[in-house]
A = this chain, B = another copy of it.
Amino acid sequence: MTLDEASKTPYTIDTEPFYLDTDNEIRMFEAAAAARLPVMLKGPTGCGKTRFIEHMAFRLKRPLITVACHEDLFASDLIGRYLLKDDETVWVDGPLTRAVRMGAICYLDEVVEARKDTTVVVHPLTDNRRTLSIDKKGEVIQAHPDFLMVISYNPGYQSVLKDLKQSTRQRFVSLSFDYPEPEDESRIVAIEGKVDHDTAARLVGLAGKIRHIREHGLTEGASTRLLIYAASLIRQGIPFKGACTAALCQPLTDDDRLQETLNDLIDDLI
């Protein structure tokens, strides 16, 4: 796929991603989008934030541009750069600039991980100005009316060094996410992992117990994604216990005592 093709289509989501509304968050997101308010999605790993934003992009029929933030991501990675191409200097828009121009949803995943100079870019896009300043081109872009800034944030991770400043936080309507209800999650695991409902329900039951012991030492519970992994292994012929060990227990922790506890939980199920 070349750049030109990429700037036209690839951000459109063509098939409806499966998502089950749990706390009216679809309605709330639609309201925020209608009022052009930036949105922050809060919640633990793998509880469905990414899936939700894909679902909303499909629903609102807007392209979605996702950027996974990390501590070496600078503002220029978001905005764009001059590149040499066949002896010519060509400006290439970064993902944020593309979103601003085309009226996409720009989803900055785990935004606190990024370099702090991203703040200077986010602020004027999240107040009544709705502008993006490309200093290197001396250009100020007025955001497309459909442009929507969405960030995600995992409260469990934050330390003193990596925290959203109040002056940034207070620019976003915030939706809080948690794992889906058992019945909903079973449906998701059955569909995505291509297993029967019974197996899915057993996996979700196990996940519930694992999430319950979270306070006893696990930093996070098992994500829905891991349940789907376990289901996929089972579908490949791996026995239930082995699949759970490889896809649920081992990824969660390196602590031997916690592994034992997790194994006990599995054994209780068989």
Q: Interface on A for B, CB 8 Å cutoff?
A: 1-3, 6-7, 10, 24, 27-28, 30-32, 34-35, 37, 40, 42, 44-46, 50, 66-75, 77, 81-87, 89, 92-95, 109-110, 113, 115-120, 123-124, 127, 135-142, 154-155, 157-158, 165-167, 169-176, 219-220, 222-223, 225-226, 229, 232-233, 235-238, 242, 246-247, 250-252, 254
Contacts and interface: CB of A to CB of B under 8 A. Distances in A.
Q: Which 10 A-B pairs have the closest CB atoms?
A: A3-B138, A174-B250, A155-B254, A72-B117, A31-B236, A35-B232, A68-B120, A45-B167, A166-B220, A70-B116
A142 B242 contact: no
A170 B225 contact: yes
In the complex this chain forms, how many copies of it are found?
6
A35 to B, nearest CB: 4
Nearest to A176: B250
Contacts of A81: 135-136
Nearest to A84: B89
What's the dominant secondary structure at chain A's contact region? mixed
